[in-house]
Structures are given as structure tokens and as C-alpha cells.
Amino acid sequence: MGKGMLAGDAHKSARLPVVGNEVDSSISVEEFTGYNQLVSTLYRCLHTNDGFQPFFDEFCARFRALQGGILALTSAPLRMRYGWTFGYPEGFEQWFVNSDLPQQDAALLRFSSLPPRKFDSLAECDPEFDLRQILTDASLEWVEQIGLGDSAGMLISKDDDSRIVFLANRHRSEGPYSQKELLQMNMLAPHIENAVDLFHKLYHSRTSNETLTMALDRVNKPMVVFNEMARIVQCNAAAESILRSHPRLFVDDQEDSRLQSRDAGFNRKLNDAIITSIFNARDGVQDIITLFDEADDERIAICITPLAMGERENGEATGRYGALAEVIPFTVTAPPDIDKLCELFQCTRSEARIAGQLMQGASINEIAESEHLSVHTVRDYVKSLLSKNGYRRQAELVGALVRALG
């Protein structure tokens, strides 16, 4: 299986990568338990020297993947810059880095052009799809040799001159990825984005022995890390900037500093959410809790994710645990980007209008009143959004909406 991290000719400890029909999109208890385990393993990768290999191992087992990984690519031309991979033969990565194959790879071309955080199937989830019709001569021989049947993948992030792609190849004997499997992968998508961003900062800071929490200062997203006592162990510069100017949210100056609100009711909700997430981290539950604090025209969403920082044995945490909060400010009166919501969340424009109000903290009753709809109709829209995007709970959907457009 795979190794660690690969970066051109500098870092040579890694492995490689790629990537829907109407089906039953409900998620079983067993499937959701597997999802929770994948998320927990993903965040634990930030605290080991094994790169993303533990996550790849579990992903491979759950989705019957043959090989794949996380690849950073230059945009023009499309060439590999570095990556974490699994399942490829020895020496493949260096050959891939030093060749023009990336710009001829149908999967990489497809996934690097996707909207961020949205998985796709190269075979379009169609058992009758023939991959050979979209392959170049340069990759056809290799695809035939390994018996490639499909690839699933997503664009993790991009800027003007580079992009990072996740992909997972599957052998033809396993059949193509299903729409239901893509929905489950989409539940992982925002966590993969977060983990890769944080791991990237950590990788470049290890020479100075920086920890995960110290590395957060290198991340532009406002983030706060809490330990098992709900005390702040790191509030990065982006979060500090927001909290300094906020009329109610603040970090006290005590030695055991905590995130607090001057509004007593919201302060209770905030404290309860942080404590609940810490308990969830210990129990291996990866539920995201999203809270909204509104002041005049400005609103802050706080997305709190359980953070496991150690291994689990026999279902019990053996290391440290805590919570990670993302602080996302936005303007209440700013209209949501309906086109972007439709694209990212596979929804109709009517559903996108409901999604836009959910991400601003509106309740079902408030949405029904403002849209002149019945509560029952709004609930049906929300159920459809959950089903199409593979979420079990409304709070998970709201967290994803806020992260994507907040």
C-alpha cells in the first residue's frame, strides 16, 4: 500500500491517484458509523508521521478502492507538484511527477475542473460506460494493465496557479462507484478539505517543531482549538481579528481562557455545544454543531467539530481529544449565491432558496413565513437537500452550507 508525502524531487516518501443515476440515497446506521470512523481517522492523521495512510487504508476498505491519493497539481501545464498516495507500484510516483501524464489523465482533468468539495465518478456511475472512449493513448495501456474500472474524485482546493485533487481508482471487477457511494463521499468532502489544509501547514512547519494548534496561524480560515477541558489552546490570528471587533463574542484573558458571549442565553448554547463536541470526540462521534450569533446586519456562524488527537482501542479513546471551531462571519442581508448553491449542492433553485436561509440561521418556521410556504413544504425541501447531499441531520447540512458559502 501507500507511503507518506511526495514532492517533486525533494520529498520521496509517498504513493498516488482519481474521479452519478437515481438510487436509494438513505444512509444506513452501519454506513453512517463507517463515515464517523473515516472522519475520526482523517483528523487523527494530523497527529502522526504517517501522512494520510491510515485514512487511505480505511477509505480503501470501505469503498473498495484499488489505488489513489491526494495530488497537488500545477494549473498550466497540469503537472504533479507533490502528493500522498496509496496502492501504486514502487517508483510510479516519481515517474508520474517527471512525466506529462497528468495533463493526459482523464480523471485528473475531470476532477480538477469540478466545483470544490463535490465528488464525481469518471464512469458516471454507469455499469455500461466504457472508459476507453475517454482515455488517451498514453494512459490506455496502463489502464488496461491494472484493470481500471472507475475513478471517484473531488477538487479539494484551487488558486490561480495550482489545485489539489483527491481521487480513488477502483478495479473493473468491483463495478463503477454508485451514486449512493458518491453521496457518502460528499459527507467526507469538507473534512478532507480541512485536514489537507491543516496538514499542509504542519508539513511546512515541522522543522520548527510547531504543533497542530500553532500551525493554525498559517491558515486563513478563522479557527479555534479547545482541549478536553473546553479551554482554548489556540485561537489563530484570523479568529482573533474577528473576535476583537465583535460586540458580544470574546476570549477572556484568564489563564484557562474560553470562548464566551456577553449574551447569557447564547453563552449557554455555546458552552453546551463545545462540551458536547468534546464528549463526541471521545466517543468517536463526528457530529458537527453549528450555532449562529447575530448582531444588527452582521452574523457569525460557529461550526464546531469533534477533534480526536489519539488512537482508539476497543472503542475507547486512548489519546487527547477536544474540539475545533470555525468562525465564519457574513452579512445577513447579502443575498445567497443561488447558482453556486445549485451547483455545489445538486439542488433546484427552490431548494437553493431554502438552503440560503438555512445557512443564515433561519428556522423552518421563519423560512416558511418569509417564502410564503407551509412548514410541511419547507421540511420536504430540507429532506430533499439532505438526501441529495448524503447528510443525516440538518445541522450537518447547515455546517456544509456555511463552510461553502459563508
Provide the residue range defining the domain that includes 12.
5-206
Residue 66 and residue 171 in contact, taking contact as beta carbons nearer than 8 Å: yes
**Could you tell me if 326 and 353 lie in one domain?**
no
Residue 292 and residue 330 in contact, taking contact as beta carbons nearer than 8 Å: no
**Could you tell me if 202 and 252 lie in one domain?**
no
- Give the 3-state DSSP-derived string for the chain, with helices as H, strands as E and coil as C: CCCCEEECCCEEECCCCCCCCCCCCCCCHHHHHHHHHHHHHHHHHHHCCCCCHHHHHHHHHHHCCCEEEEEEEECCCCCEEEEEEECCCCCHHHHHHCCCHHHHCHHHHHHHCCCECCCEECCCCCCCCCHHHHCCHHHHHHHHHHCEEEEEEEEEEECCCEEEEEEEEEEHHHCCCCHHHHHHHHHHHHHHHHHHHHHHHHHHHHHHCCCHHHHHHHCCCCEEEECCCCCEEEECHHHHHHHHHCCCEEECCCCCCCEEECCHHHHHHHHHHHHHHHHHHHHCCCCCEEEEEEECCEEEEEEEEEEEECCEECCEECCEEEEEEEEEEEECCCCCCHHHHHHHHCCCHHHHHHHHHHCCCCCHHHHHHHHCCCHHHHHHHHHHHHHHHCCCCHHHHHHHHHHHHC
**Could you tell me if 125 and 232 lie in one domain?**
no
Residue 14 and residue 2 in contact, taking contact as beta carbons nearer than 8 Å: yes
**Could you tell me if 178 and 303 lie in one domain?**
no
Q: Which amino acid is at 312?
A: R
Which of residues 176, 206, 236 is at a domain's end? Answer: 206
State how far the Cα of 167 lies from the Cα of 178, in Å rounded to an integer.
15
**Could you tell me if 22 and 146 lie in one domain?**
yes
Q: What is the pLDDT at residue 116? A: 85
Mean pLDDT in order along the chain per 10 residues (406 residues)? 36 31 50 70 72 87 90 78 78 66 80 88 87 72 80 88 89 90 86 80 46 60 84 86 88 78 89 87 80 77 79 49 85 78 86 89 91 93 87 80 72
**Could you tell me if 347 and 231 lie in one domain?**
no
**Could you tell me if 301 and 163 lie in one domain?**
no
Q: Can you read off the three cell numbers belonging to residue 303?
A: 461550526
Q: Which amino acid is at 355?
A: A
**Could you tell me if 55 and 110 lie in one domain?**
yes
What is the longest distance spanned by two Cα atoms in the chain? 66
Q: What is the pLDDT at residue 296? A: 64
**Could you tell me if 110 and 167 lie in one domain?**
yes
Cβ count within 10 A of residue 196: 20
Residue 88 and residue 67 in contact, taking contact as beta carbons nearer than 8 Å: yes
Tens digit of each residue's pLDDT (9 = 90 or more) over 216-269: 666 677 888 888 778 888 888 889 888 888 888 988 776 668 899 998 889 889
Which of residues 331, 364, 380 is at a domain's end? Answer: 331
State how far the Cα of 310 lies from the Cα of 299, in Å rounded to an integer.
34
Query: What is the number of domains present in the chain?
Result: 3
State how far the Cα of 132 lies from the Cα of 39, in Å rounded to an integer.
34
Kindly report the CATH number assigned to the domain that includes residue 90: 3.30.450.80
State how far the Cα of 236 lies from the Cα of 95, in Å rounded to an integer.
39
State how far the Cα of 359 lies from the Cα of 121, in Å rounded to an integer.
28
Q: What is the pLDDT at residue 298? A: 74
Which of residues 169, 190, 206 is at a domain's end? Answer: 206
Q: What is the pLDDT at residue 294? A: 76
**Could you tell me if 45 and 188 lie in one domain?**
yes
| Residue among 154, 191, 182 at smallest CA distance from 44 | 191
Kindly report the CATH number assigned to the domain that includes residue 394: 1.10.10.10
State how far the Cα of 158 lies from the Cα of 168, in Å rounded to an integer.
19
| Residue among 251, 256, 285, 247 at smallest CA distance from 270 | 251
pTM, whole model, 2 decimals?
0.53
Q: What is the pLDDT at residue 23? A: 41
**Could you tell me if 245 and 173 lie in one domain?**
no
Q: What is the pLDDT at residue 322? A: 83
**Measured between alpha carbons, how far is residue 275 from residues 21, 225, 244, 316, 324 in Å?**
41, 13, 23, 18, 11
Q: What is the pLDDT at residue 227? A: 82
Kindly report the CATH number assigned to the domain that includes residue 284: 3.30.450.20
**Could you tell me if 62 and 191 lie in one domain?**
yes
Give strand pairing partners of 166: 70, 154
